[in-house]
A and B are shown apart, each in its own frame.
Chain A
Amino acid sequence: EAGVAQSPRYKIIEKRQSVAFWCNPISGHATLYWYQQILGQGPKLLIQFQNNGVVDDSQLPKDRFSAERLKGVDSTLKIQPAKLEDSAVYLCASSPPGVHQPQHFGDGTRLSIL
C-alpha cells in the first residue's frame, strides 16, 4: 500500500512570500489532515477534511493560511504571506472511514522562512 505522499520535502522562502504544499493521501482514505510541527513540539492540527468538506479549521490562521481538497482526494495548503513564525514541518495525514482509525502521516515538508 502506498503511503501518504507530500511535496516538496524542503522549501526555503523569504518572509512575506507565498508557498504551497501538496498532499496525496492513501487511496480510499476519506479523511485528510494538515498538521504543523514546530521544532521541539508535537504536531498541531491546522485543518481536517472529510472528503472535500472542512470538518475542523479552528486552529488555521485564516488571514494567511488556506487549504483546499478538490474532488476529495489531493489537497493543497497555502501560506500567503509567510511570517518567520511559520517555520515548521507541515505534515499531511489521512485515515480510513470509521471511528477511531489511526492516522497515517506523510514525511512532511520542512519550511524555512528567512
Chain B
Amino acid sequence: DQQVKQNSPSLSVQEGRISILNCDYTNSMFDYFLWYKKYPAEGPTFLISISSIKDKNEDGRFTVFLNKSAKHLSLHIVPSQPGDSAVYFCAASGQGGSEKLVFGKGTKLTVNP
C-alpha cells in the first residue's frame, strides 16, 4: 500500500517556464512534508519542507503548496533552469509521531534549454 504517490514518472518543461510537480498522500497522520532532489549516482538532497500547520512555504525559486483536505502537495519551480533537471522525491513523516520518511517513487524533471 503506497502511502505517498507521485503519479507522473516524468515531466519535461522549457527553460524559464514553471515546473509543477505533484504528490498525493493517503495517511492523515502525516504532518511534515519534504521535497528532495536527486542527481544520478548521488544521494537525495533536501530542497524544501512544509509543516501541516502551513499551506505554503517559499525558498527562492522553489515553493511548496499543501492542501490538507485534498491530501495533496505540489512543488513549483519558477523559473526552471537546465540545472534543475533531476529526479524529485516527495516524502512525508509524522505517522505515529515517528520521524521516519515515507517516499514517493519520484518524478524525473527535464528542463530543456
Taking Cβ atoms with an 8 Å cutoff, the residues of A that contact B are: 4, 31, 33, 40-45, 48, 55-56, 91, 93, 95, 99-108
Q: Can you list 27 A-B pairs with a CB-CB distance of less than 8 A?
A: A40-B105, A41-B105, A42-B4, A42-B89, A42-B91, A42-B104, A42-B105, A43-B44, A43-B89, A43-B101, A43-B103, A44-B103, A48-B99, A55-B98, A95-B99, A99-B99, A100-B31, A100-B32, A100-B49, A100-B51, A100-B99, A102-B34, A103-B46, A105-B44, A105-B45, A107-B43, A108-B43
Whether, in the assembled complex, B81 has its beta carbon less than 8 Å from a beta carbon of chain A, the answer is no
Rounded to whole angstroms, the CA-CA distance of A56 and B44 in the bound complex is 21
Closest residue of A by beta carbon distance from B93: A100
Chain A residue with minimal CB distance to B104?
A42
Q: How far is the CA of A76 from the CA of B101 in the complex (A)?
A: 20
Q: In the complex, are the beta carbons of A91 and B93 less than 8 A apart?
A: no
Chain B residues near A40 (CB-CB < 8 A)? 105
User: In the docked arrangement, what's the CA distance between A27 and B87, Å?
Assistant: 28
B43 CB contacts on chain A under 8 angstroms: 4, 91, 93, 105-108
Contacts of A104 in B (CB 8 A): 46
Digit string of B13-50 for contact with A (CB within 8 Å is 1, else 0)?
Answer: 00000000000000000011010100001111110010
Rounded to whole angstroms, the CA-CA distance of A42 and B44 in the bound complex is 10
A34 to B113 alpha-carbon distance, docked (Å)? 37
